[in-house]
Structure 1
């Protein structure tokens, strides 16, 4: 039986089950095919407990406060891997316990050799703009459509739900250094956002929030992930996705084993299971994302494979989100709370 938990403020991860018959997975909501989980549970007679986080900051705070106690597997973005390794929150994978590791074409996985010892690729894609094409005659090709929007988009702007996503896109639009901006460049970025604030109707990266906004007409444009765009377009066929000419972002999500896990054998078993070609193909379909698993990709329907290959090829030419320095992160958070001081969104 799959158990889904949502951590609220004041709760601790350590309260989760640590019994050997449980596998505790910490991830985004709705990011793994329930059928895949059920098959794993049935085959190995284990219950998977899923705990979800709302954003990367919540995940990092929870793991930092507990040391990962009560967790077995954590979903991590590539920009966070190094900090988790440095803090000792995750442990190296024992590849002899993951024989299906041979299916991954590791030469094409965009991680360092050190990161590859810890992380198993789970999903990858790009970060760009989704917009309602019926509202505007010309195609969108720049972040200017978001940060200096035409009249058709005003009052219907969506901004990223995480400050670490928001500020880099502004700096990209302004043509500044993404990872080492000067104080006055950060100030200029903040001024631009404050000027835009009256036109913003949503601060969120949630697929559900974006879907509702586009369908109800309260959103005209918003940054999103290529994987989420596939779902959004199913409900709003006039939506278009573009990686702006100034550039977009590439991301890679991976599964890692918590150093504090009491079920490391189970965790390796789960990672191995996910790399079975049939299971990996099913998971790619569910996440709308390819990974470097040629045998699984062969099993995808041709139309799906072509669409996901297109997204993947576009993504790999883009910038990568990075583990921001403390000073930049503090500035991002300051900007974020200035934009949304009451936590309305």
Structure 2
């Protein structure tokens, strides 16, 4: 349980009284502990007399525009509960900021394991192949959902998704900017000049589809739940695919280990081309034009996220301890993106 002097501590008594009144089936609240991971929205495990639950809330303090939309996160998880995409079961959304200081939602705790390292050093080559295959299967399932049938057309805006997103992330980045990086400035200019035409493809987009946002079964290579839907929207499916494929361009160093520079022969881990081909086969398409643009945009958006976390650390309300390391990664991400588009 967090100390009362922590910027992210929760009022145990208030939350306990609220749950007892509004969700009596969750039992009496016994303990609150904050997950050490999760830079954006503070996340907590609640242990009660009936089991474990997870609480996600907005961070405290002044926030960047349109960021930390836990209400949107709740809505998309709720909608996906009845689809083939695995998500935790939601319990409720609380819009009353008087309970713990911000709005929050509650969902079931999913018992499983998270693979933090994309090289999967602790499993066999066969398991690695299965695990990466599962991520393709679930991504294709997500992108195949009928948005209109699920009542989610209003979950995103119409028009050119990438044009809209580039504009949005430029604004987000500028709002969090602490110094000028020439790599990022060059990347922004390139993205604005090389915008693909709108092909009118739309799907649910997760927004942060990475291996560490998935909970796998302890006993089989099966995804039990996809987590962290804060950036989800109705957009272009290639944004998710490219974001996952950034792994093949990030070296195995720092806080986000990647696959760049590794010899993948015999490891069971597919190459980037093999991964994209597997996705295309699942989706019934032949190839993906403008691939370098989608990758470059993914790196710019990640740089914007990292810069936002770093800015919040300066303001005193970052959710995790390695925010400064993320800030230092911003120009590096820009440099990787430039290397992709210059090939």
TM-score calculated relative to the size of structure 2: 0.22
> Relative CO higher for 1 or 2, CA cutoff 8 Å, sep ≥ 6?
1
Higher strand residue share = 1
TM-score calculated relative to the size of structure 1: 0.22
